[in-house]
Chains A and B, each alone.
Chain A
Amino acid sequence: MLIPLLRTYLRAYQRPIVLVIVFQLVSTIASLYLPGLNALIIDQGVVTGDTGYIVRTGVEMLAVTAVQITCSIAAVYYGARTAMALGRDLRDSVFVTVDSFAAQEVGRFGAPSLITRSTNDIQQVQMVVLLTFTIMIAAPIMCVGGIIMALRQDVYLSSLLVLIVPTLLVCVAAIISRMRPLFRSMQAKIDLINRILREQIGGVRVIRAFVKDTYEQQRFDGASTDLMDVSVRVGRLMALMFPTVMLVMNVSSVAVMWVGGHRIASGDMQIGTLTAFLSYLLQILMSVMMATFMFVMLPRAEVSAERIAEVLDTVPSVRAPQVPQVRTRHTGVVELRDASFSYPGAQEPVLHAANLMARPGETTAIVGSTGSGKSTLLNLIPRLVDVTGGAVLVDDHDVRSLDPTDLRFSIGLVPQRAYLFGGTVATNLRYGKADATDDELWAALEIAQAREFVEAMPGGLSAAIAQGGTNVSGGQRQRLAIARAVVKAPDIYLFDDSFSALDYDTDARLRAALSTITAQSSVIIVAQRISTVRNAERILVLDQGTVVGTGTHAALMATCETYREIVLSQLSEEEAA
């Protein structure tokens, strides 16, 4: 997976890569050239006592050295730049791809794993590419140079290389192939650590309240120990790599000695050739050693590349149309026509052939028991998921035919879990409308019944909000999430059980204030409380994914058994009050 990934992502860097190769080539040749000059100093300078020649050749050696360092630096420059640019490009692609995912795909990988893939995995690939540019290119040059020189010395003896090189390859390949599954498991363990820690930080209050610190530490320790075990097993194989290569090469030099000795004895070879041959073998050894250094990193990078490619190759289940239709009007009419949704492979649909028509100025409420498909229905409208049957239409266009950005521009969603981003009150409120003025923000806060507490927060609009909104209470979080949607002034409001954490008083005031600004918008509310929905123009009753009643409160009371049951359950509670 590594090679195809690199082939795609390095395509843009052909020129710097060529430069790296050229500079490495020159630099390597220069350092191979130095011993030759040295030999000249000895053969022609020292032996003949020509001190002038010694100094002249010395200067020449200095010049070669200067060329060598210049080229090395240039190679490091282009190598580092290209490798780091590759990392950047990969991160960019992964991030943008994940952005295009629908909730289903995010759920399939899990956020913690996607996080590891976006940073840690890319880091591995990036490092191997860097090593390739700095070491790997020089290694084959040295190796080939060594082989050529060896061939020039003695062809027969060089035939031993035919034995040595494959042996080396087989050994290295055997070790690498055993490392790969371990690395795969290692990256999965890092995912697990990510997941556990993420849960622990998110659930720190519960953990402390339940005095489960010790238990959690054990849970973490389990994952951490697993990671250590896998890492040690990988490390053992890594530790095997270097000595194995060394052994193969050393045994080879012994073999060369033995075979070479016989050839010398039979007069087929000079003894000087043997010494020279051994020194070239040493050079080949050095280059293989350098390559080994990279081979150690390679399997992990390959596993990482696989994990990256897995993300990049995932086709999001919700895709933007090739040629989006353009809406002639933006009024916010929402229609569901036999809309169904089921998870792949599931036996029962979550939502079954639901029909709905919501017009601007109207409020449509969706009620039903837990798990009846209310949130799914809501998520179909902004295309967080796509129908598996039927269609969802906004302003008479199938939502799948519209530009998602344009579609979502019309929608203000207040999700069930009121998530706030780390930042300030203002950055959160401006989330849907970056250029909203402070006055607009205050107006929205006013409607969301949040003005009072925001004013009381240190800094007001610029008060800090922790990631997830954990530093404000649940009710405050919900109201800020509502204000965030209000700032956006959308054509369609989607409230997914968004008033649940509010007291009745606040809930009532909030809905009264909302009605003043939703006169031109379609409002779709998922709610539990009858008091929240009783004045809606239309109430949709869901039971196990099927619409069992549509109509006004009064009509449903007369016709819909399920609805009556829901109302009664709330009555019985308050009747006694």
Chain B
Amino acid sequence: MSGSGSRPSPPAPSPTLRGPMGAMMGGASVKALNFKGSMRRLVARMRSERRLVSAAGVLGLVSVALSVIGPKILGHATDLIFTGLIGGRLPAGATKAQAVARLRVSGQDRIADMVAAMDVLPGRGVDFHAVGLVLLGVLVLYVAASVLSWFQGRVTTIIVQRTVYGMRADVEAKFSRMPLSYFDSKPRGELLSRVTNDIDNIAQSLQQTMSQLLTSLLTVIGVLAMMVYVSPVLALVALVTVPASMFITMTIAKRSQPQFVRQWATTGKLNGHVEEAYTGHELVKVFGRTDESVAAFRELNEQLYASSFKAQFISGLIQPAMMFIANLNYVAIAVIGGLRVASGSISLGDVQAFIQYSRQFTQPLTQVASMANLLQSGVASAERVFEVLDAPEQSADVQPAVMSKAVTPTGVRGRVAFEDVSFSYDPARPLIEHLDLVAEPGQTIAIVGPTGAGKTTLANLLLRFYDVDGGRITLDGVDIRDMRREDLRAEFGMVLQDTWLFGGSILANIAYGAADASASQISEAAQAAYADHFVRTLPQGYDTVIDDEGSSVSAGQRQLLTIARAFLADPAILILDEATSSVDTRTEALVQQAMAALRTGRTSFVIAHRLSTIRDADRIVVMVDGGIVEQGTHPQLLAAGGPYHRLYAAQFSGAVTDEDLEAAQPVG
């Protein structure tokens, strides 16, 4: 695969975080399943549902007991019918003793013995009233057993669904505590797969095993008790099947486990490929990469087929193997029982009863064992979820106790200072070194410089997407690392290069930073960002639903919406990161004015490449290769004739000329 040149896409370990996924994704090397540990963890997650679990246990217990008793009482009905049958054949009017005596006289000793043992009234036929009563009783029992079993199923469902819901919530919460580098280093579809495919698999596995495991185990115990009661010797023979079953199940399970791990890991990888192929759909087509994309897909698909087949086949062996043991046991009991009857040490009826019980005993045992594959599959998935939950988090926010010593985030004036800041994404390649920069409250600081000079990194550091390696950044004199990220970020408004809208109405998207904004506030913000007009031309206006891909809204319009969002959020400090680059020029001019209005009274960092945007900035900082090479006001820098001058000249060399100015005059 590696040499093929097709998109092998070893899921890019980010420069900063090349750790945890390296091994996972390496194709052949699949981590072994820590079945016991992960199983225990999965069970531990149900601890909060302790009461429901015990409720399900009790309901199951009673339900199983009732359905075991059922056949016994039904047997009583058989006895009643049989009694009636015999009684009907005996002459009426005589007593039981007379009837027995008469039978003995006629030489029918065996029947006489039987009748003597029965509660029979000669001459009376089947007492259907009594039979009816018994059957009614059984009916009540069965209805009760079914209702209880139904309730047990309902409770189990709630336990399982709450458990997986908790897992989803934990993963989601975990995502918000993870460093950005985690998301940069993983295919998005792979992460999605863990939340959808894997958690779904856990739910299905638990749902099916939980209810049956309990019922089956209870049945095994109940039947075992009956067996010991009937014949301790034969019970011992039957008991041998338990360790044998355990041995076989474990032997097979050990072999199928890695396959299940591989199956779900490959599912994740496949999902990753699918997600990326569907996201970059048009590129795949235009670059004629359909064949390669399909080939890469097929390779993963083939791997998934191979691992899931092996997983299902190997674990599928458990059931036949258990059946085999059950049958061996059956044969053993039949033969040993038969021999023992022949030698007179046990009655025939007991052997027959015993064979029935041994059937009832091994059947649920087989069921328990065959659940092993469901459980393994579920635990393999659970482990992938736990892996996310265990991934390293970004440094924890300071504790509230420490916080109290720090500044309260309210009443921020907006003085931002970079003090001797050093930072790099990759320790081998220093990016920003010993940077000093102060923004007084209300100032506009423009950062210019070639792409890759570290402009965006400054914004990342300010918002603590990354923490500085050396020096410190202070907000009104407080080291931002002593503030909670939330509180820090709440002071910032940001318009990013990458517009981001979520699936929802335009209204909701603009109100993203201020959930309690009124409709009029929202439309005011939209007006300020010059988005109001185009929104109103849409068929559903502000209620127009846009999706992640934003197909119904052009790139420029998306940008206007994110600007409107920043207006509405009304923050103390602004970061404008190449924000207006794809708004068309007519609109852009207007946006510039609005931006200027927005900047008044706020400390602003403008990361820009259109120098016209930032002429009136309080300070222009020219960055090259992570360091500040020049700073000052527009006139100062022009006069200095340094890098800024060069940039400025370059910009206008290709732009509008005097000729255009002349040509434009008559129109204007």
Contact = CB atoms under 8 A, between A and B. Distances in A.
Contact of A206 (B84, B153, B189, B494): B494
Interface stretch (B28-36, B274-282, B437-445): B274-282
A240 B156 CA distance: 12
Given A84-B312, A91-B304, A431-B287, 9 more contacts: A37-B334, A49-B342, A51-B339, A193-B195, A254-B74, A265-B126, A417-B555, A419-B280, A471-B14
Interface in A242-256: 242-244, 246-247, 250-251, 253-254
Contacts of B288: 405, 408-409, 432
Given A370-B534, A466-B12, A190 B196 contact: yes
Nearest to A504: B651
B569 interface: yes
A116 B274 CA distance: 10
A206 B586 contact: no
A572 B588 CA distance: 11
A201 B175 contact: yes
A323 interface: no
B313 A77 contact: yes
B301 A464 contact: no
A411 B426 CA distance: 37
A189 B312 CA distance: 28
B282 A369 contact: no
Interface stretch (B42-50, B235-243, B449-457): B449-457
Contacts of A58: 331, 334-335, 338
Interface stretch (B99-107, B140-148, B216-224): B140-148
Contacts of B52: none
Nearest to A435: B5
Nearest to A484: B287
23 contacts: A27-B320, A31-B323, A42-B338, A98-B281, A99-B281, A198-B192, A204-B183, A206-B562, A208-B465, A211-B486, A239-B153, A257-B78, A265-B81, A271-B85, A422-B12, A423-B9, A434-B6, A465-B12, A503-B610, A508-B653, A571-B660, A574-B612, A577-B612
B149 interface: yes
A127 to B, nearest CB: 8
Interface stretch (B158-166, B415-423, B470-478): B158-166
Interface stretch (A326-334, A355-363, A473-481): A473-481
Contact of A370 (B146, B173, B301, B557): B557
A81 B498 CA distance: 46
Contacts of B555: 370, 416-417, 497
Nearest to B356: A279
Given A69-B320, A247-B143, A568-B667, A467 B12 contact: yes
Contacts of A101: 281
A197 to B, nearest CB: 6
A398 B78 CA distance: 86
B274 A118 contact: yes
B165 A224 contact: yes
A87 B276 contact: no
Contacts of A504: 609-611, 647, 650-652, 654-655
Contacts of B650: 504-505, 508
B584 interface: yes
Given A118-B274, A205-B465, A42 B352 contact: yes
Nearest to A464: B12
A111 B81 contact: no
Report the interface size class on chain A.
Answer: 35 or more
A438 interface: no
A12 interface: no
Among A65, A68, A115, max chain B CB count under 10 A is at A115
Interface string A172-208: 0000000000000000001001111111111111111
B78 A201 contact: no
Contacts of B334: 37-38, 41-42, 54, 58, 61
Given A80-B316, A275-B78, A569-B586, A434 B197 contact: no
A68 B316 contact: no
Contacts of A123: 197, 201, 267
Interface stretch (B115-123, B289-297, B398-406, B598-606): B289-297
B176 interface: yes
B13 A464 contact: yes
Contacts of B11: 422, 467
A51 B338 CA distance: 8
A493 B56 CA distance: 67
A505 B587 contact: no
A506 B309 CA distance: 54
B284 interface: yes
Interface in B539-576: 547-549, 551, 554-557, 560, 562, 565, 569, 575
Interface string A276-289: 00100000000000
A452 interface: yes
Contacts of B37: none
Contacts of B547: 107, 110
B407 interface: no
A130 B316 CA distance: 10
A83 interface: yes
B271 interface: yes
Interface string B301-335: 11011001100110011011101100110110011
A370 B585 contact: no
Given A413-B286, A435-B5, A574-B612, A453 B452 contact: yes
A111 B351 CA distance: 64
Q: Classify the secondary structure of B's interface with A.
A: helix
Contacts of A118: 271, 274
A80 B147 contact: no
A502 interface: yes
Contacts of A200: 172, 175
B228 interface: no
- Closest 10 pairs between A and B when the two form their complex, measured CB to CB: A239-B153, A235-B157, A503-B609, A72-B320, A475-B451, A504-B651, A464-B12, A370-B556, A203-B500, A434-B5
Contact of B142 (A49, A235, A247): A247
Contacts of B581: 474, 500-501
Contact of A81 (B309, B611, B612): B309
A568 B271 contact: no
Contacts of B380: none
B331 A239 contact: no
Contacts of B186: 467
A121 B275 CA distance: 15
A216 interface: yes
Among B152, B294, B502, max chain A CB count under 10 A is at B502
Contacts of A503: 448, 450-451, 609-610, 647, 651
A236 B288 CA distance: 49
B52 to A, nearest CB: 12
A432 to B, nearest CB: 4
A564 B585 CA distance: 12
Interface stretch (A141-149, A151-159, A160-168, A523-531): A523-531
A548 interface: no
Contacts of A419: 279-280, 283
Nearest to A473: B456
B162 A228 contact: yes
Contact of B189 (A115, A465, A476, A497): A115
Contacts of A140: none
B629 to A, nearest CB: 15
B297 A111 contact: no
A430 interface: yes
Nearest to B278: A111
Interface string A61-81: 110010011001100110111
A473 to B, nearest CB: 5
Among A55, A217, A236, A369, max chain B CB count under 10 A is at A369
A431 B172 contact: no
B131 interface: yes
B193 interface: yes
A554 to B, nearest CB: 8
Nearest to A247: B146
